[in-house]
Structure 1
Amino acid sequence: MQNDEVIWQVIRHKHCSFMAKIETGIFCRNPYNVTGICNRSSCPLANSRYATIRDHDGVFYLYMKTIERAHMPNKLWERVKLPRNYENALELIDKHLMYWPKLLVHKTKQRLTKMTQMRIRMRKLALKTREKIMSTPRKEIKREARREEKAEKAALLDKSIEKELVERLRKGLYPDIYNYPEKEYNKVLEMEEMLLAGGEQEEDEEV
């Protein structure tokens, strides 16, 4: 026969996989816990008659456990869908938990209130337009920085090589080469002539 007090003494003082001890207190990770606190009245394992509220994809359900279903673990919790209206949900809780302990009924209603407030805040936050913060991994940042540095060095090298080749072609160091890009070479020469002409005009105006 199931004895709630024996179960509580075992899981409280020996071992419970749902217990979480931190500096502020002892909490319970069991999803059926009505308060989230590890104590005798809130423990879903050490209470034969228990009720709580759970959320499934935005829909609240009232879960109820009784001693008569203790021998059927797959049917241990009876689930009742609660209406979206807060007043109607409270009335349904009163209807199903009419002869249950007043403390448990109060905690169940309190949990419903907190979850309803949380749902309202989530909707308000979803409607607000906020900046999305994207985090970039440190390795990716370093990799991109290395690539940029290599690309800058390659661009400077290409420009220096191009400048040197144009200078050599102008001096006539490659008289027997005819397959170099003559259009680009002439374009560079025209640009330099325009710059020289502009500089001479400025000097004339100053004089």
Structure 2
Amino acid sequence: SDDLIWQIINNSFCSFMTKTKTSKFCRNEYNLTGLCNRHSCPLANSQYATVREEDGVIYLYMKVAERAHLPAKMWERVKLHRNYERAIGQIKEKLIYWNNWIRRRVIARFDRLLEVQKRSRRLVLTSETKLVPLSRKVERRERRREDKALVRAGLETAIEKEMLDRLRAANPEEFVNVDRAAYEKALQAVEVEDEEDDEESEEEEEDESESETEYVEDFDESEEEIEDIQEQQEEGEEEEPPVRQKLTLSSRGAAAIAPPRKRAKVTVEYDSD
């Protein structure tokens, strides 16, 4: 039956066969060598063995004619030991009565899988630069956006600086139509600075007024001042000229003469202590 299967596969059609100008290859996952020939074909050999790797673990797969009628249990899987010598001992023990060609090919494939595992671990440990493709259109668009953002930011800072300079120079008539938000922001910054300066000056004045100490005289008048006031009043009474009276006549008769005004007198009393 194996010869019949191989004649059909070899001469007609096989879905796993890949032909080239020099040779033919097999894409079946259970193929031992990857070549399409009579010894390597897993379909045309009822007794077959191979080695496969699954999730970092290497298994030995074996197929015999006694399980040909059970497709779900056709392959026997044996997990190989991580130690190389013990794994080779397992392969030789399981394939002790098998063809020498299959036994040698299984050991060679096992060695190759071990080399692949070591290399993959080494590549994982070594950090390599990862190249990420980037479209030129996206790159140009991002560059234009960055340039516009930088220009906008520089313009806003220049406007704020100009507003601050003009506010400090107290020339409000020179303002031009600019961004309202930048103007208000600059104006608020100046107002905050003025308020802080006023608060600091008030605090300094309060501190100075609290630290100042003055000495003042008593509110009671001294005896010398009282004597001077009495002498001035007496001299004024002696030198006072006579009051002249004027008469004015009206059509009805003579007007009454206004009496002279009297001076207020000041009397000083002394308290005997």
TM-score range, shorter chain: 0.7 to 0.9
Q: CA deviation at 1:46?
A: 0.7
What amino acid is aligned across from residue 150 of structure 1 in structure 2? R
Higher relative contact order (CA 8 A, sep 6+): 1
Aligned counterparts of 2:185 and 2:77: Cα–Cα separation in 1: 83
Q: CA deviation at 1:142?
A: 2.4
- Tell me what 1:148 maps to: 143
- Tell me what 2:246 maps to: none
- Tell me what 2:79 maps to: 81
- Tell me what 2:129 maps to: 132
User: Structure 2: 5+ residue runs without aligned partners?
Assistant: 192-273
Structure 1 or 2, whichever has the larger Rg, is 2
What amino acid is aligned across from residue 132 of structure 1 in structure 2? T
The count of aligned residue pairs is 180
Say if 1:184 and 1:73 are closer, same or farther in 2 by CA, change over 3 A. same
Deviation per CA, 1:3-29, whole angstroms, max 9, x where unpaired?
111111212222111112235532111
Q: CA deviation at 1:180?
A: 6.6
What amino acid is aligned across from residue 148 of structure 2 in structure 1? K
Look up the SS of the partner of 1:41 in the other structure: coil
Q: CA deviation at 1:132?
A: 2.5
- Tell me what 2:106 maps to: 108
Deviation per CA, 1:86-111, whole angstroms, max 9, x where unpaired?
11112211211111111111111111
Aligned counterparts of 2:175 and 2:114: Cα–Cα separation in 1: 84
Say if 1:53 and 1:164 are closer, same or farther in 2 by CA, change over 3 A. closer
Q: CA deviation at 1:68?
A: 1.2
Q: CA deviation at 1:136?
A: 2.6
- Tell me what 2:40 maps to: 42
Look up the SS of the partner of 2:37 in the other structure: coil
Aligned residues with identical type, % of pairs:
42
Aligned counterparts of 2:159 and 2:151: Cα–Cα separation in 1: 12
Q: CA deviation at 1:59?
A: 1.4
Aligned counterparts of 1:65 and 1:147: Cα–Cα separation in 2: 60
Q: CA deviation at 1:135?
A: 1.3
* Within-5 A mapping of 1:94-105: 94-105=92-103
- Tell me what 2:173 maps to: 172
Q: CA deviation at 1:157?
A: 5.2
- Tell me what 1:67 maps to: 65
Say if 1:133 and 1:179 are closer, same or farther in 2 by CA, change over 3 A. closer
- Tell me what 1:190 maps to: none
- Tell me what 1:181 maps to: 186
Say if 1:114 and 1:181 are closer, same or farther in 2 by CA, change over 3 A. same
Say if 1:162 and 1:102 are closer, same or farther in 2 by CA, change over 3 A. closer
Q: CA deviation at 1:120?
A: 2.6
Say if 1:25 and 1:151 are closer, same or farther in 2 by CA, change over 3 A. same
How high is the TM-score relative to the length of structure 2?
0.56
Look up the SS of the partner of 1:39 in the other structure: coil
Aligned counterparts of 1:152 and 1:184: Cα–Cα separation in 2: 28
Q: CA deviation at 1:66?
A: 0.9
What amino acid is aligned across from residue 90 of structure 2 in structure 1? L
Aligned counterparts of 2:107 and 2:14: Cα–Cα separation in 1: 27
User: Structure 1: 5+ residue runs without aligned partners?
Assistant: 187-207
Q: CA deviation at 1:42?
A: 0.3
2:102 paired with 1:90: no
- Tell me what 1:5 maps to: 3
Deviation per CA, 1:56-109, whole angstroms, max 9, x where unpaired?
112111111011111110000011111111111122112111111111111111
How high is the TM-score relative to the length of structure 1?
0.72
Q: What is the RMSD computed on CA atoms of the aligned residues?
A: 3.1
- Tell me what 1:57 maps to: 55
